[in-house]
Amino acid sequence: MEKKDLRIIFMGTPEFAVESLKTLVEGGYNVVAVVTQPDKPVGRHQDTLQPSEVKKYALSQNLPVLQPVKMKDPAFVEELRSYNADLQVVVAFRMLPEVVWDMPRFGTFNVHAALLPQYRGAAPINWAVINGETETGVTTFFLDKDIDTGRIIQQKRFPIPDDADVEYVYDGLMHLGAKIATETIDQLIAGNGEIDSIPQSEEGELKHAPKIFKETCMINWNQPAKKVYDFVRGLSPYPGAWTNLNNNSVLKIFQTAKTGKACNAEPGTLYIDGKQLLIACQDEWLELLMLQLSGKKRMDAKSFLNGNKNIDQFKAL
């Protein structure tokens, strides 16, 4: 079997998935259709429809695009079946019903941005950084009835530097995900649809990666500075960690630095030390480097202090 003989349907929505789709298309793989989320209403009155990043790229390549509201919709299932795909590749999409993932003769595999079985869930990149991991990676696995539990095909590892934020890890895994997707397909082609896979282990402590909501991003200052440091970079640049100040304003924090300076001040206490803006954690002072007060622009600490010289009179809650 050759690339041109393997009919592939690609499923994905955000920018993270575009790199994999682009790599397949430009690599000469036979992508016969693309499935993505329906256009999203945006704007003040929700009267403008915005296509997904995957849809934008697919249309630029003249690929057929399917946008089902419900994955079990009989009309969608029949349309999907009409493409007679041998394989479906899923990157950053949504849970599929069995009638969809079991349709192709070679099955459906997913590219997950973690080293499964660790970090099953919707936000694996964020949680790996939040938890202070020094390594993560990507996994290809066959879909089955449960979320992120199918048989593992391949894994590739990716180091997380101590100063890396989510944007850095996201970009690295996006490109590594495209690489593992093509390598997995090449294995399937070489084996004429046959490929080795192993069940996921359920032993030991499994860390999860649930969806992140606004309330998830609120900082708890009453913990070690390293935990807060990792929490901030695990949510930067988006959606951003935040804290309430006792003047009823919200402060978003995008970058901090460990000082190694012990403190016995109450957690959340702000302190200006020369040109540095410090905040007390459970054990040490943490320096605030990039931040944004509600209603203002994001800026570095020096610029922030120029306009908020009395900020140390307030306290983070």
Question: How do residues 262-311 score in pLDDT, each as one tens digit?
Answer: 999 999 999 999 889 999 999 999 999 999 999 999 999 999 999 888 88
pLDDT of residue 91: 98
- Give the closest residue to 153 by CA, choosing from 111, 114, 212, 122: 111
- Give the closest residue to 219 by CA, choosing from 158, 277, 274, 282: 282
pLDDT of residue 138: 98
What is the pTM (predicted TM-score) of this model? Answer: 0.95
Task: Please tell me the distance from the alpha carbon of residue 308 to that of residue 162, in angstroms, as a whole number.
Answer: 30
Which stretches of the chain score pLDDT less than 70?
none
Give me 312's structure tokens.
Answer: 């140390």
Buried b (16+ CB within 10 A) or exposed e, 119-143: bbbebbbbbbbbbebeebbbbbbbb
Question: Residue 293 half-sphere exposure, CB side, CA atoms within 13 Å?
Answer: 15
- Do the Cβ atoms of 81 and 68 come closer than 8 Å? no
Q: Is omega for the bond preceding 210 within 30 degrees of 0, making it cis?
A: no
